[in-house]
Amino acid sequence: MVVPQKHQSQSSDFKKREIRLLLERVKSILEKNYYCYEIINYPSSYRERSIDVVAVKDNDKLLLRVRLSIKNLHKEEINDLINAASAIDAVPLVLSDDVVYDNVVCERDNIYLISDKTLNNMLRRSSDVFIIHKKNNFFVRINSKKLEKIKEDLRLSLGDLASYAGVSRRAIFDYLRNDSNVSLEVAERLIELLGEDIVEPITIESLKTSFTKAVPEGTVGYDRKLLDVLRVDDDILIYRINRSAPDYVVVSKDSYEVSFVVSGDLGKLSVKDLVKKILETEKLTRVIPSDIKAVVDRSLKDVILDELSVHKLDLNKVSVLESR
């Protein structure tokens, strides 16, 4: 049977409604778990964004892209999430109803794909979330200290564990030295012998540790012209953001101070769009200790400052600099 084309594709209005509903669920989860968050509504077209939500609780920081489908993630979306997360020490997450498994964290290209149920359970620190799906395989994280203790309590040797788990003695030695991701099959054998206490639930902290190891600094750029305009030295990290409100995130290597930079290219942006970029970037400063540096043409500096004043923006947060 051939299904008519109009029934095969979802309408634009339906997709927008589904996105709004999913975003509302995300907001509810964050609120119930006492996260402060901001919704970033730039660019105006939802499809062109890479970051929808920035959320913070104590030392935990989340960058979320909310999507109906994960099938066509744009390379720039992934790069923006990685760069922004590296800059502010956050975890890059894509949340979607399209994720096949609940309570499983899917790792792809150094970002993490989850469902809203998985997000809620992770933030609640539930032991239900303990499986990672990566490169078509499932892994479980083993707690090295608990593994060592139970091994000693049961008076088991490396050879005993290796034989039972079906792995080498070297592998067991590595499991005992550091928390490790092991295949689901190996984990099931170890759990059968030693119990579930050896399993380490997946938390925001553990994902941040894994992300930092995989991507120590993100994709760091160098822009001499930008450095000159910002009047800073070379001892900083510059992260390019292509599909969100700020164009760059600049981080001092010494003090770890963060600046969000908005660059006004009037060949591409109107004054209205530039002001919107600055206003949306200001939301980031509400949850991330930082300031904003807006780089604009000299002729527009006073116009931009007047527009920002109309919107009652705290100008102590914003430095409007002239491009050179």
How does pLDDT run across 196-223, given as a tens digit for each residue?
999 999 999 999 999 998 987 666 666 6
| Same-fold call for 9-125 versus 138-200 | no
Question: Over pLDDT 70: what percentage of the chain?
Answer: 93
Q: What is the CATH number of domain 138-200?
A: 1.10.260.40
Q: What is the CATH number of domain 9-125?
A: 3.40.1350.10
Dihedral angle sign, alpha carbons of residues 126, 129, 130, 132? negative
Going by C-alpha positions, the residue among 247, 250, 142, 156 that lies closest to residue 202 is: 142
What are the sequence ranges of the domains in the chain? 9-125, 138-200, 220-322
Predicted TM-score (pTM) above 0.85:
yes
Q: How far apart are CA 94 and CA 35, in angstroms?
A: 17
Mean pLDDT, residues 132-153: 94
Going by pLDDT thresholds of 50, 70 and 90, the confidence category of residue 310 is very high
Going by pLDDT thresholds of 50, 70 and 90, the confidence category of residue 8 is very low
Q: How far apart are CA 315 and CA 294, in angstroms?
A: 11
Two structure tokens written together for 294: 């807006």
For residue 296, list its beta bridge partners.
322
Q: How far apart are CA 141 and CA 137, in angstroms?
A: 13
Q: What's the whole-number average pLDDT of the chain?
A: 90
Q: Are 258 and 87 in contact (CB under 8 A)?
A: yes
In the block, which residue shows the tokens 């390019």?
A: 240
